[in-house]
Structure 1
Amino acid sequence: MKAITKKYKLLALMAGTLWLTGCSDFLTESDPSNFTVENYFTKPAHARSSVNAIYASLRDPMGSGFGGGTWMMTEFATGLAGTDLGQAVNSYFIKDLQNTSDNGYGVGYWSSYYKGIGNANLSIAKIPAITMDETEKKRVLGEAYFLRAWYYFNLVQMFGNIPLVTEPINLQSEQLYQSPSTAEQVYALIVSDLKAAEASGLPWTDVSGKVSLGAVKSLLAKVYLTMAGFPLKKGNEYYDLAAKKAAEVIDSKQFKLFSTYADLHDPAKKNIEENIFMIQYKTQVTPSNWQVSIIPYNKNISAYSDETGGIYALGDFVKSYATGDLRAKEKQFFYTTFTNESNRNLSVDLGGYFI
């Protein structure tokens, strides 16, 4: 009997050991049908899709509704915009120049753009190892460099000294706890990224809305112009660099000003001529919800959108345009009247200047 007991104890110990091993293996096994950073970047389509993901963060701050919208932060900070949307408290904080680190608009820009930077860092690190056409590889990397520069350029202008994250990160990464870099260091990366994009073989224009050489050179001109002034104050050398880079865009003959102001509102003019680089939307696929915030408060003019009066131009701003400037002409850029939703023959006074 004692021998049998010992035998079963041995079998139980062996079964327990097998169960523990099997359980451990099961818990650590990765799902082969699931994409991870380690198994994703293996073919050309992955390079394209990873770069496409970088663009998505361009749209994130552009959403708006009854709580206002992140994009309004830079408008209200000028003191030239008004709102009738009482519950959009972030708008009032910005209008009163009471902008703290917990303001939702600032958090929106910060989180969205660093997400874009994170995706750009991943593409820049992983795409070089993919076996694919080298010309196409350079181009998609050029898009990634441009977009990283675009995000950093906007962040450094809004927030000053910011963390400079240039590598893919995880919870063990040192760059996850990066100290703020100086504006000089951030601008140095921006210029370096744009020069890399400039040399990547991108076409001058791209009607699909992807990054083009025209967009790269235009942004680089704007960066140089900004570096010439506050806060870096690099002066005449950088004003000259900005002028020369802008001249390259003009002299390319790839772009031109619209012949009429109405062309700005024409969907057929998307991504061409005067439009050098645009954030992309698509009706019923990726729609924009700006209308909710830019339509006057409860004037009964819209058949499709809520009317919040979230943001509009103050009269002093509109009156600042020079005589004859079409932007100040009624229904060119701003509307002071519109038609009633149920009777389009009835005119409604909007009580202000609305987009």
Structure 2
Amino acid sequence: MKKIIYILLAGCFLTTACEKELDIENPNEPIVEAFWQNANDATAGVNAIYSTLHRGSISRWMPFYHIIRSDVGRSTSPATDIVNNMDQFLVTDYNYGNAYGIWNDNYVGIFRANQVIANVPSIEMDEELRQRLMGEALFFRAFFYYQLVSLWGNVPLMLKPSTPNDQPGTSSQEEVWAQIEADLIAAAEGLPAVYPDAEDLGRVTKGAAKALLAKAYMQQQDYTAALSPLEWLVEGEGSGIYELTSNYRDNFLIFTENNVESVFEWQFSENPTEFTDNDIETPNHNYGTSIAQFFGPSGIGWSDGEAHRWVVREFLNETTTEGERDPRLEATFLYDSTDVRGPEFTMIYGQTFAQRYGLENNRVWFRKFQNDHWKDGEGYRSPNNWRYIRYADVLLMYAEALNQTGSTGEAYQHVDRVRQRAGLALLSDVMPGLSEADFLEQLKHERLLELSGEGHRWNDLARWGDLGPELADRDPGFLTFDVGKDELLPIPAQEIDINPNLEQNRAWR
């Protein structure tokens, strides 16, 4: 099912200095300089970057921060640290482990990318392959910084392989965004639009670099700059590569991974060398993700993260042209009426909702990460890929960029493609002639229904300037949201304690 086998490289990746350096050479220990000898080494180094996506803080807790902190998600977990830090904006520990893990693991990825960027140019190898591998490394360095700047804002920029004594200073958000842009522009130059060999399925492409570049521009509200990469994807070469799947739910099933709608997809799989009964203890590398276990419905998973009921009601405000319910609702959530006939027909991992939870339970769980379509339980090794950027997202971004640059009339057609796949009436028919402001409000609704539970909602709200206590009407967690502070997380205190060049985010000092 998955085509890339990932290989890990060891090294010093933390942004902080080690307390003491013991300078004793081990003649039997391989050194980094001796590794980078040929094309196989270069490819292995790039594969190590991909493996960063399997790390628990990235594959589990990072989605939590983007989804549960937003107004579509909540936590009723008995683990109060999850509730306080990810749902209620009650951060008291600047070294909170799950947040600190995201920080560290993104810098693991950056270290691995920097190793490739520093060493591959000097290897004698096929030039086309070199440019591709460099493009992959540049893409991921930008991707990891995209996560860091989205969550923490002002973070250290590290553009060379780190050493134990490094003490990098704080870089401004503007500097970090500029580096992300530069890396993605360079990455797009070296990456292929498609990979001809099946063994390369899942590797990042030119389209992935351009889509992430558009996201970076849009988060800075530079909609004019975002138009160029989006035009390539929608009206240029990318228009012949990507398309919407006919069945919306195909984007979340293990049987239809890496399909025509996938622009950037995280590859997960079950490790065939793992044989364990408890699904937790194993000496072997985990190629899967535990997000399904932690988002899984009560009695199936830990149910540490779930959805708000108000989002369900948003789906019910409009029917299809056939008078039926929006089919995306069933694909997005598990709740008492995932089956339109109600709790006695809605199946939750082999039992009806009524059997598991009764007839009066109003809880709602995200379905897109789950594996209920092929098994009756969850675990810590979900092989279900995360479709991080879908073509539907690209179309809606393009519509937003066009609208925000004075071309609202041209924006309609791209929203209509997304609505038409869902069976809804064309927006150009039911809401023609919207003003720029009204079109944006409608687009917020379209992105909510199309992308709920996929990790984009927090950045959407931040970009639109919609984060604030006014969201408390639909998400009580925002009652404690402090404007000017809670948009960003505090830099981990341990990093600042041992690195005098780091500065705490102003509102958290």
Q: Does 1:47 align with 2:42?
A: yes
What TM-score does the superposition give when structure 2 sets the normalisation length? 0.56
Aligned to 2:288: 287
Aligned partner letter, 1:324? T
Q: Does 1:336 align with 2:327?
A: no
Aligned to 2:27: 30
Q: Does 1:186 align with 2:183?
A: no
Conserved 8 A contact 1:127-1:141 = yes
Question: Residues of 1 paired with 2:289 and 2:124: CA distance?
Answer: 37
Conserved 8 A contact 1:339-1:347 = no
Query: Shift of residue 28 of structure 1?
Result: 3.9
Aligned to 1:24: none
Question: Residues of 1 paired with 2:312 and 2:349: CA distance?
Answer: 26
Q: Choose the corresponding residue for 2:77, options 73, 85, 100.
A: 85
Aligned to 1:13: none
Conserved 8 A contact 1:340-1:346 = no
Conserved 8 A contact 2:75-2:87 = no
Question: Residues of 1 paired with 2:262 and 2:326: CA distance?
Answer: 17
Pick the structure with greater CA Rg: 1
Aligned to 2:363: 352
Aligned to 1:309: 303
Question: Residues of 1 paired with 2:162 and 2:58: CA distance?
Answer: 26
Conserved 8 A contact 1:340-1:347 = no
Question: Residues of 2 paired with 1:343 and 1:258: CA distance?
Answer: 29
Conserved 8 A contact 2:134-2:187 = yes
Conserved 8 A contact 1:47-1:140 = yes
Taking structure 1 as reference, are residues 342 and 165 closer, same or farther at Cα in structure 2, changes over 3 Å only? closer
Query: Shift of residue 330 of structure 1?
Result: 5.2
Taking structure 1 as reference, are residues 28 and 260 closer, same or farther at Cα in structure 2, changes over 3 Å only? closer
> Which segment is superposed worse, 127-136 or 86-95?
86-95
Map Cα deviations across residues 182-205 of structure 1 (whole Å, 9 max, x no partner).
Answer: 111111111111111111142346
Question: Residues of 2 paired with 1:327 and 1:297: CA distance?
Answer: 25
Taking structure 1 as reference, are residues 201 and 127 closer, same or farther at Cα in structure 2, changes over 3 Å only? same
Query: Shift of residue 226 of structure 1?
Result: 1.3
Conserved 8 A contact 1:162-1:180 = yes
Aligned to 2:202: 209
Question: Residues of 2 paired with 1:314 and 1:89: CA distance?
Answer: 19
Map Cα deviations across residues 90-113 of structure 1 (whole Å, 9 max, x no partner).
Answer: 332221212352122221210010
Map Cα deviations across residues 285-327 of structure 1 (whole Å, 9 max, x no partner).
Answer: 51222222122222xxx4xxxx321111011232234523876
SS of 1:277's equivalent in the other structure is: strand
- Identity percentage over the alignment? 24
Query: Shift of residue 246 of structure 1?
Result: 0.7
Note the residue ranges of structure 1 that are not aligned, 5 or more in a row. Answer: 1-26, 229-237
Taking structure 1 as reference, are residues 205 and 318 closer, same or farther at Cα in structure 2, changes over 3 Å only? farther
SS of 2:335's equivalent in the other structure is: strand
Higher-RCO chain (CA-CA 8 Å, sequence separation at least 6) = 2
Q: Choose the corresponding residue for 1:97, options 65, 86, 89.
A: 89
Conserved 8 A contact 1:162-1:182 = yes
Aligned to 2:107: 114
Question: Residues of 1 paired with 2:326 and 2:105: CA distance?
Answer: 31
Q: Choose the corresponding residue for 1:71, options 57, 63, 68.
A: 63
Q: Does 1:131 align with 2:127?
A: no
Question: Residues of 2 paired with 1:186 and 1:130: CA distance?
Answer: 29
Conserved 8 A contact 2:195-2:201 = no
Note the residue ranges of structure 2 that are not aligned, 5 or more in a row. Answer: 1-23, 273-286, 337-345, 368-509
RMSD: 2.5
Aligned to 1:196: 186
Q: Choose the corresponding residue for 1:59, options 54, 61, 67.
A: 54
Query: Shift of residue 127 of structure 1?
Result: 0.6
Taking structure 1 as reference, are residues 293 and 88 closer, same or farther at Cα in structure 2, changes over 3 Å only? farther
